[in-house]
């Protein structure tokens, strides 16, 4: 007699496993633990075999019957359903999508959150819809080039990021024995020429003065206004500035002590050194004044520059850029990263030595052992430089006769 949903639901576990038969070889095995497993008993080449269809109620009676009928159709064609399932699984693990996601899972712990998000987005949006279902060892160089060209017409930068991921995914496939050649190799030569990345920013003092006065005239959000005013004073990477946390500021010592997890470093290094100070930023009088004013508004939260919708997160990476564009400043005139280029150029012209400027820019130290301990390196000299820089910007902004404030000889 065929099974019913009521009979299945009412089936209670016993001291030993027992079976409830539905017909056509399909039965439900009830385990002493209470688990209910769908099985199909069939014969192939004169041998009795069994196939599992999953657990009830995850697989309801209707679905189990559909699986039975699909298996019987295979048997009618002389195909063993069990071997067909093995082939399907092998096909799934050998698909480009399976290899790509396996590679992503393997690499993700070493990536920053931003890099991981960007890489996964490119994979899911631009690559997997076109290559995901293909067997990784069947993908040809023209297949890969077609995908890259499609991206390249929209964004050459994204195309090169996609190329990098594709190349490494195929290497992962080769290393795991699922491919023998890398069809992505050498394809960058066929993409749009790589453009040099220029951090647009004014370096001519009158143009810097105009930029500073434009920023002072910003009438939008007070939080964003403070971020804009502090950008030229600190000239750190935009992500580091917007991620500023109040707990890292010491107004009495006029210092911002930035932990390594907020800096641009490999994720493995961040994890290994979590909580350590990566850089001390001396605060000029001008920076302290801006931060104290901002503290009155956002000081009861974690971030100095909290988001509008979610104060548990900092402002987005596009907030300062949008504010600059809203004031009529184009990408050819200034970018959030451009404040670094502006400060580096002018500080060198002011006579400050490169090692102080490089340290304040938080550029990686080539000496990895020394880099662990040098967060306070050259601090007295950098403190003088940061105050001189803030004073110089005030001179420019005020429209006084522009005479560079030279570093002490």
For residue 78, what is the domain's CATH number?
3.30.160.390
| 246 in the same domain as 361 | yes
Catalytic residue among 225, 270, 340, 382: 340
Alpha helices in 236-311 (DSSP H): 238-242, 267-272, 285-298
* Per-residue model confidence (pLDDT) at position 405: 52
Catalytic residue among 265, 337, 341, 359: 337
Q: Within 10 Å of residue 145's Cβ, how many Cβ atoms?
A: 17
Residue 129 lies in a domain: yes
Residue 216 lies in a domain: yes
Question: What integer is the mean pLDDT of 163-182?
Answer: 93
Helix and strand numbers (H, E) in the chain are 18, 7
Residue 264 known to be catalytic: yes
Would you tell me the crossing angle of helices 222-234 and 338-349 to the nearest 10 degrees? 40
| 294 in the same domain as 246 | yes
The number of domains in the chain is: 3
Of 87, 106, 140, which residue sits at a domain end?
87
Residue 86 known to be catalytic: no
Residue 404 has pLDDT above 70, yes or no: no
Residue 11 lies in a domain: yes
Phi, psi of 42 (to 5 degrees): -150, 170
| Distances in whole angstroms, Cα of residue 3 to Cα of each of 15, 27, 41, 389 | 22, 9, 16, 83
pLDDT in tens, 192-205: 886 555 568 899 99
Angstrom distance (rounded) from CA 95 to CA 134: 6
| 171 in the same domain as 314 | no
Pairing type for strands 255-259 and 18-23 reads: unpaired
* Per-residue model confidence (pLDDT) at position 150: 93
Catalytic residue among 9, 73, 311, 363: 363
Residue 355 known to be catalytic: no
Q: What DSSP character marks residue 245? A: B
| 107 in the same domain as 83 | no
Of 51, 68, 87, which residue sits at a domain end?
87
Pairing type for strands 36-44 and 18-23 reads: unpaired
Q: Which of 147-161, 171-185, 365-379 has the lowest mean pLDDT?
A: 365-379
Residue 373 known to be catalytic: yes
Pairing type for strands 277-282 and 249-250 reads: unpaired
Of 22, 54, 87, which residue sits at a domain end?
87
Residue 337 known to be catalytic: yes
Alpha helices in 176-221 (DSSP H): 205-216
pLDDT averaged over every residue in the chain: 87
Residue 296 lies in a domain: yes
Catalytic residue among 237, 242, 265, 375: 237
Question: What integer is the mean pLDDT of 149-176?
Answer: 92
* Per-residue model confidence (pLDDT) at position 170: 95
Residue 138 known to be catalytic: no
Higher pLDDT, 400 or 199: 199
Catalytic residue among 115, 150, 257, 264: 264
Residue 350 has pLDDT above 80, yes or no: yes
Give me the domain span that covers residue 298: 205-398
Residue 197 lies in a domain: no
Angstrom distance (rounded) from CA 12 to CA 7: 10
| 212 in the same domain as 154 | no
Angstrom distance (rounded) from CA 114 to CA 89: 33
* Per-residue model confidence (pLDDT) at position 284: 97
Instruction: Write down how long the chain is.
Output: 409
Alpha helices in 17-60 (DSSP H): none
Going by pLDDT thresholds of 50, 70 and 90, the confidence category of residue 366 is very low
Residue 112 lies in a domain: yes
* Per-residue model confidence (pLDDT) at position 87: 62
Residue 200 lies in a domain: no
| 184 in the same domain as 219 | no
Instruction: State pTM to two decimals.
Output: 0.56
Angstrom distance (rounded) from CA 94 to CA 133: 9
Question: What integer is the mean pLDDT of 320-346?
Answer: 91
């Amino acid at each position: 007699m065929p099974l019913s949903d009521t009979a299945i639901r009412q089936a209670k576990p016993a001291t030993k496993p027992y079976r409830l038969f539905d017909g056509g070889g399909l039965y439900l095995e009830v385990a002493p633990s209470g688990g209910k497993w769908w099985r199909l008993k069939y014969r192939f080449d004169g041998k009795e075999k069994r196939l599992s269809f999953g657990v009830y109620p995850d697989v309801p009676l209707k679905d189990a019957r559909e699986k039975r009928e699909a298996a019987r159709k295979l048997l009618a064609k002389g195909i063993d359903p069990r071997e067909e399932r093995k082939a399907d699984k092998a096909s799934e693990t050998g698909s480009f999508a399976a290899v790509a996601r396996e590679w992503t899972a393997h690499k993700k712990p070493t990536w920053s959150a931003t890099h991981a998000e960007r890489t996964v987005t490119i994979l899911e949006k631009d690559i997997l819809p076109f290559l995901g279902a293909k067997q990784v060892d069947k993908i040809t160089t023209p297949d890969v080039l077609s995908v890259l060209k499609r991206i390249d017409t929209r964004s050459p930068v994204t195309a090169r990021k996609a190329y990098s991921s594709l190349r490494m995914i195929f290497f992962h496939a080769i290393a795991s024995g699922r491919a023998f050649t890398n069809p992505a190799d050498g394809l960058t030569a066929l993409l749009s020429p790589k453009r040099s990345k220029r951090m647009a920013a004014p370096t001519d003092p009158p143009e810097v003065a105009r930029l500073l006065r434009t920023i002072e005239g910003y009438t939008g959000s007070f939080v964003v206004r403070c971020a804009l005013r502090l950008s030229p004073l600190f000239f750190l990477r935009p992500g580091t500035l917007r991620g500023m946390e109040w707990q890292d500021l010491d107004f009495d010592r006029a210092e911002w002590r930035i932990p390594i997890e907020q800096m641009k470093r490999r994720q493995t290094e961040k994890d290994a050194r979590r909580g350590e100070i990566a850089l001390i930023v001396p605060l000029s009088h001008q920076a302290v004044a801006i931060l104290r004013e901002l503290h009155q508004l956002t000081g009861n939260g974690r971030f100095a520059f909290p988001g509008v919708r979610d104060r548990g997160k900092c402002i987005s990476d596009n907030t300062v850029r949008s504010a600059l564009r809203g004031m009529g400043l184009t990408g050819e005139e200034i970018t959030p990263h451009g404040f670094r280029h502006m400060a580096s150029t002018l500080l060198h012209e002011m006579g400050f030595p490169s090692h102080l400027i490089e340290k304040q820019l938080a550029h990686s130290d080539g000496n990895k052992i020394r880099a662990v301990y040098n967060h306070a390196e050259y601090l007295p000299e950098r403190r003088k430089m940061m105050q001189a820089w803030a004073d110089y910007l005030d001179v420019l902004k005020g429209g006084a006769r522009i005479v560079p404030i030279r570093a002490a000889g």
